[in-house]
Amino acid sequence: MDKANSAELMETCCPHCQSRFRVSEQQLQAANGQVQCGECGKIFDAWDSLKFDDGGTLADDHIESAGNNGKTPEQQPELSLHEAMYGARRNRLSQFSALFWLVGILLLTTLGIAQAIYYQRYSLIENPRYQKQVLALCQVVPCNESQFSSTQQIKLLERNVFSHPVQSSALMVSGSFVNQAIFDQKLPKLLVSLFDLQGNLIANRLFTPGEYLQADNTRSLMETAKPVQFRLEISDPGINALTYEFEFM
Residue pLDDT, tens place only, 56-114: 433 333 334 333 444 444 444 555 555 555 555 555 556 667 777 888 888 878 777 77
Find the domain containing 60 and state its range. 3-86
Report the domain count for the chain.
Answer: 3
Return the minimum-mean-pLDDT range out of 15-24, 39-48, 108-117, 235-244: 108-117
Tell me the average pLDDT of the chain.
Answer: 79
Helix (H) or strand (E) holding 135: helix 131-137
Considering the domain architecture, whether residues 157 and 197 belong to the same structural domain is answered as yes
Considering the domain architecture, whether residues 171 and 188 belong to the same structural domain is answered as yes
Let me know: does 41 contact 50? Beta carbons within 8 Å. no
Considering the domain architecture, whether residues 74 and 108 belong to the same structural domain is answered as no
169-185 mean pLDDT: 94
Residue pLDDT, tens place only, 36-61: 887 888 888 888 877 765 544 333 33
Domain closes at, from 147, 175, 192: 147
**Which pLDDT band, with edges at 50, 70 and 90, does 155 fall under?**
very high
User: What is the rounded CA–CA span in Å between residue 10 and residue 224?
Assistant: 79
Considering the domain architecture, whether residues 239 and 159 belong to the same structural domain is answered as yes
What local confidence, expressed as pLDDT, does residue 74 receive? 47
User: What is the rounded CA–CA span in Å between residue 202 and residue 169?
Assistant: 15
Let me know: does 44 contact 14? Beta carbons within 8 Å. yes
Question: Residue-wise over 94-108: b if at least 16 C-beta within 10 A, else e?
Answer: eeeeeeeeeeeeeee
Whether this prediction's pTM lies above 0.75 is answered by: no
Considering the domain architecture, whether residues 156 and 243 belong to the same structural domain is answered as yes
Q: What is the number of alpha carbons within 13 Å of residue 69 lying toward its C-beta? A: 8
Write a three-state SS string for 136-189.
HHCCCCCCCHHHCCCHHHEEEEEEEEEECCCCCCEEEEEEEEEECCCCCEECCC
What local confidence, expressed as pLDDT, does residue 91 receive? 54
